[in-house]
Structure 1
Amino acid sequence: MADRGGKKLRIALCHPDLGIGGAERLAVDAAVELAALGHDVHIFTAHHDRKRCFEETIDGTFPVTVYGDFLPRHIFNRLHAVCAYIRCIYVAICMFFLWDKFDVVFADQVSAVIPVLKWKRGSKVLFYCHFPDLLLAQHTTRLRRLYRAPLNWVEETTTGKADCVLVNSEFTASTFSSTFTRLQARGLRPAVLYPAVNVNQFDTSLDNPPDLAFLPGFPADGHTFLSINRFERKKNIALAISAFATLVRQQENSQLTSVSRQLVRLIVAGGYDQRLAENREYLQELKTLAVEEGVAEQVIFLPSCSTSQRNALLAACICVLYTPMNEHFGIVPLEAMAAQRPVVACNSGGPKESVQHAKTGYLCEPTPGSFASAMALILQDPSRAEIMGKNARKHVEENFSRQVFGERLNSIIQDLVKGIS
């Protein structure tokens, strides 16, 4: 089958760990859409757990090949970055020696693979920078700074070797330029390719009552607020719990609404990896916070929810709370809006480019009071949430659908192969 807008190409994707995070979702979306456009697509990775992955990676849409899973992810819970570099470079070396040339290789997260991927003449390398890794790493001690210095140099140097660099938002593009000053001086300006969401996957949930059998005893009445994020401290999930507690206290003291304490609840769901100490520790911290805030009976924790469970939760909630500050982009707001649910998010980073304030949701200061005020507006007038939800769906369909993403990516790749900068 010929693709739209260009010739059929052999395209490889090189991704570190094919799990269920936002970066993995983007890589899988890229593979799905490029395959749908007629390209021969193949994903290479250092880890792929078939029990904890996106369905598209195991349904035969494209092949997934794993190299280097035997290599350590860390050494005594240290040297995570070095181990990630080694694992990914091993994947790239295997691609070079064991496979014929690909027309284009789409790499992301670990730029150190780019020089290896370019060993084969004629292969174009496209690098997708979700965010500069050096800004995500800790530089709190002299030892850490010494450890990171060569890695930071490698990141900037190898990123500059790519034939094309993409980023996920204007926010990240600005951060990229101010961080990689050597690349900026060379005139390298990354292009923005927004992540996407499969809008149609939410249609069934919208047309039918949500199946919440996985939440035994869940009350059928009342209003549910939903927070979806990985259980990591940088996701600032504590803000959702504190904002919900503030809302509950406001409801108790207000005579302006008939919504009682028993009829509002918060579900905290998202990615959870038992292997990661931070995930385990942060979940416990959040449970303790709910007790301290006096809302433990109204907050439900659901780690490691499946895609079908997430869709059911989106169908059951009145709005979604998105709490990370200065998030690079954020896929959860797109999923919420595709499911016709307004989003209450921090007025910073990627959400400023995806959420339309007072039309598809609210952009707030990262304080419990600010979030609670926006939540109260939606709670006091549910029709407001319905109108915002319809606006949100239309907004996502026109700007952030997977089809739009695929066509833009295909256009970039075709230009890259033709040598058009």
Structure 2
Amino acid sequence: MAILAGLVAVLSALLAAALRRLLRQPTQAAGFFHLYTNDGGGGERVLWCAVRAVQELHPGLPCAVFTGDADASPEGLAARALDRFGVRLLSPPQVVHLNKRKWIEASTYPHFTMIGQSLGSVYLAWEALTNFTPQFYFDTSGYAFTYPLARLFGCKVISYTHYPTISSDMVGRVKQRSSMYNNNSRIAGSIWLSRCKILYYTIFSWLYGLVGSCAHLVMVNSSWTKSHIVNIWKIPERTKRVYPPCDTSALQMLPLERSTTPPVLISVAQFRPEKAHGLQLEAFALALTRLDPHFPKPKLQFVGSFRNKEDLERLQKLKDRAFELHIDELVEFHKDISYMELVQLLGRAIAGLHSMTDEHFGIVVVEYMAAGAIPIAHKSAGPMMDIVLDEDGHQTGFLASKKEEFADAIIKVLSMSEKERQEMAAASRKRAQRFSGQRFHEDFTEAVQPILLPREA
């Protein structure tokens, strides 16, 4: 009895402590829930540009970043924002370290990954908000299941959603039994397993819509993302399209005239499965077989960063595949380079490759265009709907979906005269100005001002 009484006392104390935390007033601050502050991708750029925008809009409002990176420090993150993305923060952000990031890593959940990661994010949000409860809770990583919890803590929930966790496109692939990185061949080959997965997706989609609707403001990065989010979360009046910040300032200064001896193609993307680097490698090899033997051999440069051991293993497989295709002497790999090094590489490239299916937006495609590298992008979602469109009646790049189509586009770029290439590059660069960091700053500020400064709205 004594043990039971003690247990009840402990549980009562924990419950009371939790209630006290929930009932206390949030701190006048903006907290950014961004668990990977070292991934080097477009999402991290959005984080730092968003922090900068909030600092400018509300100078007296402290900003904090919730991160799972153990070595993150205020000064280190501020320096990283400047070095990697060219974003100068007005002051270093406060850092709130989270110790259980493994609970949102895909490797933790071999099966039912989406629901596992979503529930894991709730655990991490609890850890975050019990340590520091900001008045404004910004989610810049897409963890919608944390929104009801943040509201319970009294936060205003502001989301910048890069892509929906689940979409009708994903359900459609399962129904069609298409094998992809998010639908393995075993499930695709089984009618029964496919039906079970459709049921799982249906239930998850309903839950996703329920938690997403808890946001006070939703910003989405593209037309494709907006259509899916409005369809699932059903809060169109609180959903705004804010194109992500693309570095079009330093890149716009690069000369359009560049050496083509040898011609260089570039591919900039994290080494993740959905980026489909293998497709680019196969297309490049195919294009080489179709080139005139007397044509200068082009080079392909892969540039990317890593999240974990699996990404490193993926890079090694790419190197092995290049060797198998007998093109390893024409393929280079650049990993974790600085922002200035990236600018230099982009300034030498005549074309940029992108092959992710349903890339929600595609910041790198805009960076190619701004740098004067003609984009060869996947024919879907953001690149198709928002980016690689004609500018003043002039073609700005190429869209492809199959290996053969990518190879054809590569050959077309390589076969252009210098005049033709520069004309297309100029039209491409002009279109890229629609997605500048300044445009993001203006649209982001306009969207969040009614919440951050309601009396001035």
Query: Smaller-chain TM-score range?
Result: 0.7 to 0.9
Aligned position for 2:304 = 270
Cα deviation for residue 117 of structure 1 reads 2.0
Q: Per the alignment, do residues 32 and 209 of structure 1 end up closer, same or farther by CA in structure 2, a change over 3 Å counting?
A: farther
Distance in 2, Cα, partners of 1:38 & 1:203: 30
Higher helix share: 2
Distance in 1, Cα, partners of 2:135 & 2:377: 40
Q: Deviations over 1:111-164 (max 9, x none)?
A: 12212222354x421122222223576594589789878765543321111112
Please show how residues 172-187 of structure 1 align to structure 2 within 5 Å: 172-178=225-231, 180=232, 183-184=233-234
Cα deviation for residue 83 of structure 1 reads 6.8
Cα deviation for residue 393 of structure 1 reads 2.7
Instruction: Give the secondary structure class of the aligned counterpart of 1:252.
Output: coil
Unaligned runs of 5+ in 2: 1-27, 171-181, 188-192
Aligned position for 1:224 = 264
Please show how residues 192-341 of structure 1 align to structure 2 within 5 Å: 192-202=241-251, 206=254, 221-252=261-292, 259-261=295-297, 264-273=298-307, 275-277=308-310, 279-341=311-373
Q: Which has the larger radius of gyration?
A: 2
Query: Which of 108, 115, 130 is matched with 2:148 structurally?
Result: 115
Q: Per the alignment, do residues 201 and 75 of structure 1 end up closer, same or farther by CA in structure 2, a change over 3 Å counting?
A: closer
Please show how residues 79-90 of structure 1 align to structure 2 within 5 Å: 79=109, 84-85=117-118, 88-89=121-122
Report sequence identity in percent.
22
Q: Per the alignment, do residues 91 and 288 of structure 1 end up closer, same or farther by CA in structure 2, a change over 3 Å counting?
A: closer
Distance in 2, Cα, partners of 1:100 & 1:326: 35
TM-score between the two structures when normalised by the length of structure 2: 0.73
Letter in 2 for 1:113: T
Please show how residues 38-53 of structure 1 align to structure 2 within 5 Å: 38-39=58-59, 40=61, 42-48=63-69, 49-50=71-72
Aligned position for 2:426 = 390
Distance in 2, Cα, partners of 1:67 & 1:196: 26
Letter in 2 for 1:239: L
Distance in 1, Cα, partners of 2:420 & 2:201: 48
Give the aligned CA root-mean-square deviation in angstroms: 3.7
2:385 is the alignment partner of 1:364:
no
Q: Deviations over 1:264-317 (max 9, x none)?
A: 1111221223x332x234323322332333322111122333322221110111
Letter in 2 for 1:65: V
8 Å contact kept, 1:34–1:406: no
8 Å contact kept, 2:31–2:66: no
Distance in 1, Cα, partners of 2:101 & 2:286: 47
Instruction: Give the secondary structure class of the aligned counterpart of 1:102.
Output: strand
Cα deviation for residue 222 of structure 1 reads 1.4
Distance in 1, Cα, partners of 2:419 & 2:62: 44
Letter in 2 for 1:111: A
2:209 is the alignment partner of 1:156:
yes
Aligned position for 1:214 = none
8 Å contact kept, 1:31–1:41: no
Which stretch shows the higher mean deviation, 141-150 or 383-392? 141-150
Unaligned runs of 5+ in 1: 1-8, 211-218
Please show how residues 92-171 of structure 1 align to structure 2 within 5 Å: 92-93=125-126, 96-99=129-132, 101-103=134-136, 105-121=138-154, 123-135=155-167, 140=187, 153-171=206-224
Cα deviation for residue 100 of structure 1 reads 6.3
Aligned residue pairs, count: 390
Aligned position for 2:7 = none
Q: Deviations over 1:22-52 (max 9, x none)?
A: 2222122211233244543514223235599
Query: Which of 1, 19, 31 is matched with 2:51 structurally?
Result: 31
TM-score between the two structures when normalised by the length of structure 1: 0.78
Q: Per the alignment, do residues 320 and 77 of structure 1 end up closer, same or farther by CA in structure 2, a change over 3 Å counting?
A: closer
